[in-house]
Chain A
Amino acid sequence: DVKVTQSSRYLVKRTGEKVFLECVQDMDHENMFWYRQDPGLGLRLIYFSYDVKMKEKGDIPEGYSVSREKKERFSLILESASTNQTSMYLCASTPDSNYGYTFGSGTRLTVV
């Protein structure tokens, strides 16, 4: 089975901190994604990447950046955390859209 591993299940950070969320997949998938999920708003795409060193903005990239230095790892960076970035963050990967996504277990981030 494909495994998508997110480094932290729960995180609490202070306003203004720089936050790194890590995601690693073990099946050589080209495509990786970062979403946030909030009640009533569904999944919102932050950034995605279809190759090493490639990145594309999703629907809500403001306040975030990403890094993909290796194929298996896709990192989400909150440059200066704010309370409105408190959310569940989900990483996903896929070889292409015909296969659907495999999601990581999620990181529940609280910014105080």
Chain B
Amino acid sequence: QKEVEQNSGPLSVPEGAIASLNCTYSDRGSQSFFWYRQYSGKSPELIMSIYSNGDKEDGRFTAQLNKASQYVSLLIRDSQPSDSATYLCAVSDYGGSQGNLIFGKGTKLSVKP
């Protein structure tokens, strides 16, 4: 059974701090990695994608990938209360059906003013 593991949280950080969200995955062949943000009662929204080892930055967000360790992380700099949401990690299902992603259960982030 292919799995994506995330700490469920809640992860609580003060406003302005760096929030660090982590994810490990079991499918060594996975090629594509994504972070989704989901506000309470809303649907997931894609915020970052990463395909190669290293860091990818987009504004206050940085995704980090280490395929050897099967580890993906998301850093949120200068965290704002509006960043409070559940963050879902997803990885491509290598060898599985075309187009499929495997999702973690999400980490709930709370940014305190």
Which of A's residues lie within 8 Å of B, judged by CB? 30-31, 33, 40-43, 45, 48, 50, 56, 90, 94-106, 108
> Count of chain B residues with Cβ under 8 Å from any Cβ of A?
25
Complex CA–CA separation, A31 to B98 (angstroms) = 8
Per DSSP, chain B at the interface is loop
Report which of A31, A33, A56, A90 forms a contact with B43, defined as CB distance below 8 A.
A90
Known contacts A42-B105, A50-B97; A100 and B45 CB within 8 A of each other: no
Interface-forming stretch among B18-26, B56-64, B86-94? Answer: B86-94
Given A33, A95, A97, A108, which contacts B32 in the complex, CB threshold below 8 Å? A97
Query: Who on chain A is nearest to B8 by CB?
Result: A40
Does A97 lie within 8 Å of B99, measured CB to CB?
yes
Closest to A59 in B: B1
A98 to B81, CA, bound (A): 31
Which residues from chain B contact A102 at a C-beta distance below 8 Å?
46
Docked pose: A19 CA to B99 CA in angstroms: 27
